[in-house]
């Protein structure tokens, strides 16, 4: 552990070079004799041709209803070719990408999902599916805006006391719901910038 803390860049660079070297050797050029193989040979071979015992998993995002039977088949074959044998399907909507024609839970969507599961079974790839659409598996048309996940935001008003005050606190943005008002005695250097302390 001491060695790693002292030389993290050297070790990281060595590992990176090992990975790059392993990725640059083609499968047909690399044959390893199991009797004379060194640990480095075994490491290199494992990167080029991962054994089926290695579980390599990915999130497989189906973005903004842009899916097709041909697309899922190609995706799964590409995954298999690089040693990925487990994928978790997440239906994700991205505001910047116009939505496609295959609506979530439509007959066509279910047909494409069935094709994906059948193809994955043939390729020996495990499939998991998010329990609902949206980031963090919690979105969907059944969630009203008032129930949706939101960012926690804040505003502040600094008062010089002692005094009794009746003030309206500024709202940080227009879509705002009060959660809590906190009042505390601020330290003397409360509004100083951390840069002023020349850390």
- Give the per-residue pLDDT at 138: 64
Contacts of 21 (CB under 8 A, 6+ apart): 44
Q: How far is CA 90 from the centre of its chain?
A: 11
The residue with tokens 């008062």 is: 159
- The whole-angstrom separation of Cα 19 and Cα 6 is 22
Select from 90, 67, 124, 49 the least CA-distant residue to 75. Answer: 67
The pLDDT tens digits of the residues spanning 151-183 come to: 788 888 888 888 888 988 888 887 788 888 888
The closest of 156, 191, 152, 183 to 170, measured between CA atoms, is 156
Average pLDDT over residues 189-197: 82
Tokens 């494992």, residue located: 46
CB 106 within 8 A of CB 141: no
The pLDDT tens digits for 80-99 are 998 899 999 999 888 889 99
Rounded to whole angstroms, how far apart are CA atoms 139 and 148?
8
DSSP track, 178-189: -------PPPTT
- pLDDT band for position 31 (cuts 50, 70, 90): low
Average pLDDT of the chain, as a whole number: 79
């Amino acid at each position: 552990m001491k060695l790693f803390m002292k030389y993290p860049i050297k070790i990281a660079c060595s590992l990176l070079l090992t990975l790059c070297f392993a990725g640059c050797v083609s499968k047909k050029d690399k044959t390893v004799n199991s009797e004379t193989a060194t640990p480095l040979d075994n490491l290199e071979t494992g990167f080029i041709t991962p054994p089926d015992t290695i579980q390599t998993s990915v999130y497989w995002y189906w973005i903004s209803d842009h899916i097709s039977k041909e697309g899922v088949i190609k995706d799964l074959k590409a995954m298999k070719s690089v040693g990925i044998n487990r994928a978790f399907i997440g239906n994700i909507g991205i505001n910047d990408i116009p939505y496609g024609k295959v609506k979530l839970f439509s007959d066509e969507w279910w047909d494409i999902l069935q094709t994906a599961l059948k193809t994955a079974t043939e390729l020996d790839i495990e499939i998991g599916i998010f329990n609902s659409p949206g980031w963090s598996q919690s979105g969907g048309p059944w969630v009203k805006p008032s129930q949706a996940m939101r960012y926690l935001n804040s505003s502040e008003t600094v008062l010089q006391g002692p005094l009794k005050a009746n003030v309206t606190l500024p709202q940080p943005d227009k879509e705002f719901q009060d959660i809590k008002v906190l009042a505390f005695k601020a330290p003397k250097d409360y509004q100083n910038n951390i840069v002023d302390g020349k850390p």
